[in-house]
Structure 1
């Protein structure tokens, strides 16, 4: 999002993007992310961009020569709980009102309360949010640490062992524990089988890096650490603590810490990575404290603004 002079770009709105338009938007997002140091869209939006059946509204801004100068995405899946909004403006075409025009257009099209992410918490996005009457409601921290520093060996509770996720066999059990572990989380706890399958089909998915903590004997799932590796041409590879969850019945035994360190060791020893990141809500003070004790430090913040 950006503020500035009135735009001369041509705006268009649609329920579907053509494959060529999707390619344009993804290229714009990569360019803006490389320039800004923070990607403009989260994983959910990127998945929906590539899904022709996803329920969404798309706003595009183009210069007179046809250059895509901006894009806004409106996720209309569940209007009652909040409509997701994300947008990007091409570097070099900012401070001319394109972001403001896209934001006004996408908010006007929202069929319910809007939730807009400002990735990287740039001052221009904060200024635009104030101008549009948006309220700062949530902060998501990206934390990072080096994997060249020592990683403590995992200390699993008695009777618990680790194994890799088995697609097609562990789906239902994982969804149940994920829902229990993140019952109060606005996104993670609402994952469906379709959400899981979409990510299992992603090129980055690696079952060996999806660690499950199970009872032995019995095999009941107690917790998990799903790791991810980000690889982009021209950029250094970095691992991610994609999601760590522990069944509430298994809280208090140190399983969350053990799963986290097991995943870090996997990313370092099996994937050859030297750095790792994760995302955590600012309000989740217990998780923030755990990650800081494990050597993570704040890298940047992402802010969620609400309207309505």
Structure 2
């Protein structure tokens, strides 16, 4: 099943040929150049193959001569690849340029097989915790601090920036920016074992006023209403692995669920977020995303699963 749709079509598969910001735009230009060069090389190979098979003897002799080999096999590639290297580095230099000191900063940590998201204040301290989804304002550069808590992952949202590895024990910096509102799909781009292919990500770009309203609402303390769903959440062990702000559920082994009811997707970007998919994920996530670290709860009756899902839907 596909995650939520972007403003211009489905979020998956994300396309490098539809850049939504300046950091992705330079990569798109370079990608078109590489494709054009690949097509040119393919045509040259086809012509050379035709000459080798059906050409006149004089042409075949020249094609296999020492001079042709030196020019076509050494001199030409060195010149072309050197030029491509210089042009590529100059074209994508904006990825390495310093971003404004007041730029929004977010720390994203790769986990097996989901993403921990922490919005940071000016001192670099987390002020809002989320998972598998990032909200950003349109037209503003955002600095991502990329880390990994286990193995090497790679963060990639093709429409917003290039990809960058997340290496245990190291923090890498990646700028992104969206120039139009929308939902942009991302993916782990480095094989990390197990359900790597199902380790998606969602970036949602809002108009600045809407973005600030969303963040303000998340900072407002919520009144938790005790009920059967909340009781089951505690008694079945969910609170041992998951955190919900404003409660004593402070588990950190799994994704933060403080705002799970407002997320556009579940399971790290692989399912639309609605009551049916939420019940299915709680009951048997292993059949949806085999190998993930959440145990199946097949022992719970349907009414208990529905009660937990209702409680989680209220976490916004």
What TM-score results when the alignment is normalised by the length of structure 1?
0.29
What TM-score results when the alignment is normalised by the length of structure 2?
0.29
Question: Which has the larger share of helix?
Answer: 2
Q: Which has the higher contact order (CA 8 A, sep 6+)?
A: 1
